[in-house]
């Protein structure tokens, strides 16, 4: 699997994680190019079916990133997001699918370096897991 | 109909304690549609525990009770229907304020398809093979709602389960049964048997349908009719995510998948529908088996959702329909929890 380049979808909240990603960029931190960012207004905007959709369409990993607990721009969105994410992971796990391809991380607007680290770590983990078999499945 | 039940209803109606009753009634061709009965004489056709489940009782209740004009309503339902009623009240689809819930030791129901093919048949609580798959493994076959009519363990009387139930009986000059130990013993015994069946069934379900290949196999026959969702009491959304216009993938997405995989299924998104649905509603699934009964393709959809539900509810120590006071897990949170889910 030498030439496998993971494709990771990242749902980044506008107020923290997207800004953190921006900071990583303007600080010229070196990062693997594997994450395709999608800006959402809050981590709680991410309906589990959006994550499921990305997963079933062959995304090798899906990241949801939002403000640290206590810092959500809308006060409590990320607490709700955490519950929904846990539920989705349980569903995926219960069905015997690879729950490790899903990740939830808190990254603030000032944490450019943490953004870099999360993307690096997650990309490496997914690289080890190999391509998501959903990408090659005809009867989804 | 059971004589105690008739007694309760007649007294409650003539004293004005309740103004109507929701109960299945015998229709033509051995059918049992739900009816809203406001006249005692119409009770003759009532059939509280028909052999098949036609429409889920909570769904029938939600179809008209969001704003009851006046009076109190007594709903006579199976335990799983009562539990989904409680879930629907939390989801703001039913207003429980003026509804009393009466349930009974449930004998289970026979599979709808067999019933339609063979005509009249009766479920037999002691022979699981006569029951629908989810009835066979049902461990909450009694005691839900305000009152429970019990006919097992030597009992033939009504047990009150809430203050509201007690109140109703009091005002009718009736006494709730207090000597319930034998009946409880009966229930515990059956529960143990059912738990065994459930464990075995879950194991074989997992073996057959786990992982991507397993799921593809499970759902390859799915005809995307969405009957499972339509008959489910919990799926009340007017517009389901899967039917949203912007949900439809563009042709390019189908083509891309087809290029990558060699071919792509049409209609697409079968697994997305089922997994997305489980992520939305499994916390409130009451394992009533309606979905599986309705599936024209014999997909074990009820057993699958129910299995997933056991795992998702465990996260929050939640049990669908158990307690009207327990908040829906997705409508609340704790500051410190689920840290194992964040990296
Ligand atoms: S998913 Fe099926 S078993 Fe669960 S509540 Fe809905 S209809 Fe009943
Ligand atoms: S699957 Fe989700 S969106 Fe669709 S009806 Fe059920 S709960 Fe609503
Ligand atoms: S009822 Fe059966 S065939 Fe129809 S959508 Fe549900 S699982 Fe598929
Ligand atoms: S705004 Fe960032 S998580 Fe809610």
B92 interfacial to chain A (CB closer than 8 Å): no
CA distance B147 to B297: 37
User: Which tens digit of pLDDT belongs to each residue from B270-325?
Assistant: 999 999 999 999 999 999 999 999 999 999 999 999 999 999 999 999 999 999 99
A3 in any annotated domain: no
Q: What are phi and psi of A75, to 5 degrees?
A: 80, -65
- pTM above threshold 0.80: yes
- Cβ density class A32-53: b for 16+ within 10 Å, e for less: eebbebeebebbbbbbbbbbbb
Query: Which chain B residues are within 8 Å of A88, Cβ to Cβ?
Result: 279
Is A134 part of the contact surface with chain B (CB cutoff 8 Å)? yes
A2: pLDDT confidence band, cut at 50, 70 and 90?
A: low
Residue A49 confidence class, pLDDT cut points 50, 70, 90: very high
Flag whether A137 is in a domain.
Answer: no
Q: Which of A84, A107, A18 is nearest to B276 (CA)?
A: A84
**Residues of A with CB below 8 A from B214's CB?**
95-96
Give me ligand 1 centre to Cα B117, in Å.
23
Are B312 and A49 an interchain contact pair (Cβ–Cβ within 8 Å)? no
Task: Say yes or no to pLDDT of B69 above 80.
Answer: no
Give domain status of residue A42, yes or no. yes
Strand order in the sheet with A61-66: A35-40, A8-13, A61-66, A102-106
Chain A, nearest residue to B334 by Cα: A79
How many domains are contained in chain A? 1
Asked if residue A81 belongs to a domain, the reply is yes
DSSP of B176-237? -----HHHHHHHHHHHHHHHHHHHHHHHHHHHHH-HHHHHHHHHTT-----HHHHH-SS---
Does the beta carbon of A13 lie inside 6 Å of ligand 4? yes
Strand partners, A63: A10, A103
- Predicted confidence at residue B249, as pLDDT, reads 84
Give the ipTM: 0.97
Judging contacts by C-beta atoms under 8 Å, the chain B residues touching residue A105 are 342-343
Q: Is residue A26 a part of any domain in this protein?
A: yes
A139 vs B contacts (CB less than 8 Å): 216, 220, 265, 270
User: Which residue in chain A has the smallest CA separation from B329?
Assistant: A83
Which parts of chain B fold into alpha helices (H)? 3-14, 57-62, 79-90, 112-118, 133-136, 163-171, 181-209, 211-219, 227-231, 251-261, 270-281, 290-294, 301-315
Q: Which helix (H) or strand (E) holds A36?
A: strand A35-40
Q: Is the CB of B249 under 6 A from ligand 3?
A: no
C-beta atoms of A87 and B282 within 8 A: yes
Distance of CA B41 to the CA centre of its chain: 29
B71 vs B279: CA distance, rounded Å: 38
Give the CATH number, domain containing residue A20: 3.40.50
**pLDDT tens across B208-257, in order?**
999 999 999 999 999 999 999 999 999 999 999 999 988 888 899 999 99
Domain range for A84: 8-129
| CB count in 10 Å sphere of residue A132 | 24
Supply the pLDDT for residue B179.
Answer: 87
Instruction: Give the mutation target among B232, B296, B306 for probing the ligand 3 site: most ligand atoms within 8 A of CB.
Output: B296
As a three-state string, the secondary structure of A45-99 is HCCHHHHHHHHHCCCCEEEEEECCCCCECCECHHHHHHHHHHHHHHHHHHCCCCH
Sign of CA pseudo-dihedral B283, B289, B294, B299: positive
**Beta-carbon separation of A91 and B307 below 8 A:** no
Is residue B156 a contact partner of residue B109, using CB atoms and an 8 Å limit? no
The full set of domain ranges for chain B reads 2-197, 210-341
Q: How far apart (Å, rounded) are the C-alpha atoms in residues B201 and B224?
A: 25
């Amino acid at each position: 699997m030498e030439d496998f380049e993971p494709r990771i979808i990242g749902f980044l909240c506008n107020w923290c994680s997207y800004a953190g990603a921006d900071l990583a960029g303007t600080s010229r931190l070196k990062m693997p190019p594997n994450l395709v960012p999608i800006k959402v207004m809050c981590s709680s905007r991410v309906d589990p079916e959006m994550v499921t959709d990305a997963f079933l369409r062959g995304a090798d990993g899906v990241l949801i990133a939002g403000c640290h607990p206590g810092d959500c721009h809308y006060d409590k969105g990320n607490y709700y997001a955490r519950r929904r994410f846990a539920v989705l992971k349980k569903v995926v796990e219960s069905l015997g699918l690879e729950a490790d391809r899903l990740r939830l991380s808190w990254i603030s607007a000032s944490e450019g370096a943490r953004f870099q680290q999360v993307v690096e770590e997650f990309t490496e983990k997914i690289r080890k897991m190999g391509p998501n078999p959903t990408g090659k499945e005809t009867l989804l | 109909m059971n004589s105690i039940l008739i007694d309760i209803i007649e007294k409650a109606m003539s004293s004005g304690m309740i103004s109507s009753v929701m109960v299945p009634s015998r229709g033509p061709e051995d059918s049992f549609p739900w009816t809203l009965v406001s006249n005692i004489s119409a009770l003759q056709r009532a059939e509280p525990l028909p052999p098949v489940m036609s429409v889920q009782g909570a769904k029938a209740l939600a179809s008209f009770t969001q704003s009851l004009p006046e009076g109190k309503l007594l709903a006579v339902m199976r335990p799983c229907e009562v539990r989904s009623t409680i879930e629907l009240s939390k989801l703001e689809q039913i207003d429980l304020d003026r509804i009393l819930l009466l349930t009974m030791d449930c004998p289970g129901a026979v599979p709808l398809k067999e019933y339609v093919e063979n005509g009249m048949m009766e479920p037999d609580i002691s022979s699981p093979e006569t029951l629908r798959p989810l009835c066979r493994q049902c461990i909450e076959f009694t005691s839900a709602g305000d009152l429970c009519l019990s006919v097992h363990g030597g009992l033939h009387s009504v047990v009150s389960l809430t203050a509201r139930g007690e109140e109703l009986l009091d005002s009718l000059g009736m006494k709730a049964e207090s000597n319930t130990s034998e009946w409880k013993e009966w229930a515990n015994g059956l529960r143990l048997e059912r738990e065994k069946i459930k464990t075995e069934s879950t194991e074989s379900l997992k073996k057959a349908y786990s992982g991507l290949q397993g799921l593809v196999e499970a759902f390859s026959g799915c005809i995307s009719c969405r009957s499972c969702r339509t008959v489910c009491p919990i799926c009340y959304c007017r517009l389901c995510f899967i039917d949203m216009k912007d949900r439809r993938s563009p042709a390019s997405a189908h083509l891309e998948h087809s290029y990558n995989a060699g071919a792509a299924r049409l209609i697409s998104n079968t697994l997305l529908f089922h997994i997305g649905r489980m992520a939305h509603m499994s916390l409130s699934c009451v394992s009533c088996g309606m979905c599986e009964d309705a599936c024209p393709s014999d997909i074990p959809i009820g057993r699958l959702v129910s299995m997933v539900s056991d795992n998702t509810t465990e996260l929050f120590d939640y049990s669908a329909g158990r307690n009207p006071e327990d908040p829906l897990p997705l409508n609340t949170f704790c500051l410190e929890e689920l840290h194992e889910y964040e990296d």
